[in-house]
A and B are shown apart, each in its own frame.
Chain A
């Protein structure tokens, strides 16, 4: 190779790097915000608009803003926490967000005033149906744009599909695999079946004619799919994400409170029975112990909201009516206040 060519290669390489640095500036100034809106990642814009005027950042999903049509008081949980505690609470929420998506958001907080981060956490985000949910691709795509990298790099990585972009059938397959082979183990409780799949196959609500009440049965099966699992701290990907959240908050000096949301244990009991509630409590204990051992505070709301205060009576959600939201907010506000000097 000619000597001139050999010399020109590093020069050209430097030129390309300089171009990329310049492009990053242009992209950040003129294109990034549009992309955040276009790809549904506007939660970062919310962070920018709120972080300098609040003391507490509340990271939540649909539980924060869902209301019952008959509610007279329509405040979100985060607003109520603000009212009860006196702190200025800025909420960042979007349906189906979970710990993995909160990580880059917490990394992006740059505020003089924020001292506490409240992270909502619901049991269902740790089950296989949610981990392998089809919506995960879309969530990961959104999160790609606000990861803590130069924005242009995130944009390129988005184009190159550098996020968890498995297709629906692959996700379904993984979920069914876990439901088929992940066995439930306990010395204290006898489960009706060793796996979710077998448990769901059992007949339920059979009347004297041998007919099943299909409506109740379907809902019971749904409760089983949502809650019949046992958290494996080493294997469950959410646990690593929660670890990461506690690490980042510690590093940034934020007080971290997990708002562990209430689940409808009353319905779980009446529809499926004690073994399911036992699993919910066991998972709660594992989670609380795990997070507290890492220095986080956990507000345990698992059984705090009575069944009638759930807005979705025919599904498993953490959506509460005004009473439910107030209960959760009070409990979080109490813990928030307990940290005051």
Chain B
């Protein structure tokens, strides 16, 4: 089920109402059923994958907890890692090795051989939504148990809920067991402030997704579908705008997730903090997709030695973390390059910092450079593959197109509002920012956002970009 769909707008209020009517001890059952329904609504067959991942991790973690011998603990850990990474490989990376098929052939095969054809079709075309997110969430749990940071979960149902809690199931934030799981045991009473803040986050999240990302999508898609029709300036602008599209899309999703959870009294971590106002790449990664970057910090960078090693090794660690982070996004070289660029820039920034150079306006220059680097690196994120990238570069060099960028009229008002909010919300969150404003400004803001949402939302059929990861 998509957040930006009518079924979700019916589903969420129903779940919230039922949730507060149920006795607290039964609420986890409701949330588990709701979460499975939420996921199965898209493709019921992929529920099996979540169930498998849940069962394996539950059993493995408990065996790790029980075992005294190190080899046994390691064996159970490898079983868990193997299962999760295996599923990820099967559905996300195997297609790299499958003979290529055109879409028509795949459709014919899927129709002709309902079981085998459909499987091939699924492996080739369909990525179980959110597989990268929930596998990483469960991996962190198993590793924490293995490292004896937490005790293994004894309640299968609540563990299953930790794996599939619907607000953050398909695109994060990737939650830690220690943050999310204890909240399922709390006796959440209906809390007006939580409720209000939840709705505020949902409103602002929808605004970012539907008004910013979806309106920009039309412009950006046009550039990337036919770069030959656009001038150099058009291609450059399209690329810059993609940065805002992906931000609106993903940060919007995260806010709706946080807001939905908040309606149930559950706090999810912040995933974005006005990232385009960062003054360095280092800072950008403390503000962009925070749940993933902290995941990589805790479960890859630190185990690799972090910064407690010699500089060359540390540089290698940084590079590896960024490269794998890139590859996490998809089975294309372009994602690796995207990660590599960020890794390289991170290291260059470190070297510059080491020189101790300081000058007036450093923050501003740093901010502009960071924005440019991040935006240009998004090219590798947006193109389908390296061939498409080289075509884009070729067209950029040729500068032959005459078409100018087409902007949706409905974008002007939301875009102005969005830029204003980016500045106002620096180191803040919409719900907290709006909370202490006078009633007129507060309601004026709601009204403005609501009007943009209802009358000026983009009308492209764009699921959330991060669903494909």
Chain A residues packing against B (C-beta within 8 Å): 1-2, 5, 9, 15-16, 19-20, 23, 26-27, 31, 34, 38-39, 137, 141, 152, 155-162, 165, 167-169, 172-173, 175-177, 179-181
Q: Is B457 an interface residue (CB 8 A)?
A: yes
Known: A156-B457, A157-B6. 20 other contacts (CB 8 A): A1-B189, A2-B192, A5-B192, A16-B450, A23-B455, A27-B454, A31-B410, A31-B456, A141-B459, A158-B457, A159-B214, A161-B2, A161-B4, A161-B5, A162-B6, A172-B107, A175-B107, A176-B112, A177-B111, A179-B111
A111 to B36, CA, bound (A): 50
Chain B residues in 8 Å Cβ range of A155: 454-455, 457
B461 adjacent to A159 (CB under 8 Å): no
In the complex, what residues of B have CB within 8 A of residue A160's CB? 4-6, 9
Question: Is A159 within 8 A of B210, CB to CB?
Answer: yes
Chain A residue, CB-CB nearest to B112: A180
B107 close to A173 (CB less than 8 A): yes
A-B contact pairs, 10 of them (CB 8 A): A5-B192, A23-B451, A23-B455, A26-B451, A26-B455, A31-B456, A155-B457, A161-B461, A165-B461, A176-B111
The 4 closest A-B pairs by CB, nearest first: A159-B457, A176-B111, A172-B107, A177-B111
Q: Which residue of A lies closest to B106 (CB)?
A: A169
B93 contacts partner chain A, Cβ-Cβ < 8 Å: no
B:18-67 near A, CB below 8 Å: none
Instruction: With both chains docked as a complex, state the minimum distance between the C-beta of B197 and any C-beta of chain A, in angstroms.
Output: 13
Q: Which residues of A contact B110 (CB under 8 A)?
A: 173, 176
Q: Which of the residues A158, A169, A177 comes within 8 Å of B125, measured between beta carbons? A: A169
Give the shortest distance, in Å, between B396 (CB) and chain A (any CB): 29
State in angstroms the CA–CA spacing of A2 and B195 once bound together.
13
Q: Chain A contacts of B310 at CB under 8 A?
A: none
CA–CA, A1 and B193, complex, Å:
9
Interface centre among B107, B125, B189 (most CB of A within 10 A): B107
B157 → A minimal CB distance (Å): 29
Contact of A169 among B103, B450, B453 (CB under 8 A): B103
Measured in the bound complex, the distance between the Cα atoms of B113 and A180 in whole Å is 10
Verify A23–B104 contact, CB threshold 8 A. Answer: no
In the complex, which of the residues B9, B210, B461 has the most CB atoms of chain A within 10 Å of its own CB atom?
A: B461
B421 proximal to A (CB < 8 A): no
Tell me the complex Cα distance, A314–B367, Å.
Answer: 61
What A residues does B125 contact at CB under 8 A? 169
Within 8 A of A (CB), among B94-135: 103-104, 106-108, 110-112, 121, 125
Contact (Cβ within 8 A) B121 A20: no
Q: What CA separation (Å) do A39 and B381 show in the bound complex?
A: 29
Q: Measured between alpha carbons, how far is A165 from B6 in the docked complex, in Å?
A: 13
Considering the chains assembled together, what is the distance between the CA atoms of A160 and B104 in angstroms? 28
What distance in Å separates the Cβ of B195 from its nearest Cβ neighbour in chain A? 9
- Looking across the interface, which residue of chain A has its beta carbon closest to that of B192? A5
Asked if A23 and B192 sit within 8 Å, CB to CB, the answer is no
Asked whether B450 lies within 8 Å of A19 as measured between CB atoms, the reply is: yes
User: Which residue on chain B has the smallest CB distance to residue A27?
Assistant: B455
- B243 touches A (CB below 8 Å): no
B326 close to A (CB within 8 Å) = no
Q: Are B451 and A159 in contact (CB under 8 A)?
A: no
Assess whether B190 is in contact with A1, with CB atoms less than 8 Å apart: yes
B191 CB-CB contact with A under 8 Å: yes
Per the bound structure, the CA–CA distance linking A181 and B110 in Å amounts to 12
Contacting residues, chain A, for B210 (C-beta < 8 A):
159
B353 at the interface (CB under 8 A from A): no
Contact A173 B457 (CB under 8 A): no
Cβ–Cβ < 8 Å partners of B190 in chain A: 1
B443 in the interface (beta carbon within 8 A) = yes
Cβ contact within 8 Å between A23 and B454: yes
CA separation between A159 and B443, bound complex, in Å?
23
Measured CB to CB, the closest approach of chain B to A158, in angstroms, equals 5
Chain B 202-228 per-residue mask, 1 if CB under 8 angstroms from chain A, else 0: 000000001000100000000000000
CB-CB < 8 A to A31: which residues of B? Answer: 410, 455-456
Contact in complex: A15, B4 (CB < 8 Å):
no
Report yes or no: B454 in contact with A173, Cβ–Cβ below 8 A. Answer: no
Q: Which residues of B contact A176 (CB under 8 A)?
A: 107-108, 110-112
Residue of A nearest to B5 (CB): A160
B155 contacts A by Cβ under 8 Å: no
Contacts of A19 in B (CB 8 A): 447, 450-451
A139 to B103, CA, bound (A): 22
Max chain A C-beta neighbours (<10 A), residue from B108, B451, B455, B457: B455
Which residue of chain A has its CB nearest to the CB of B190? Answer: A1
Instruction: Answer whether residue B458 sits at the interface, using C-beta atoms and an 8 A cutoff.
Output: yes
- Could you tell me if B459 and A158 are in contact, using CB atoms closer than 8 angstroms? yes
Chain B residues near A173: list those with CB within 8 A. 107, 110-111, 121
- The reply on B358 being an interface residue by CB < 8 A is no
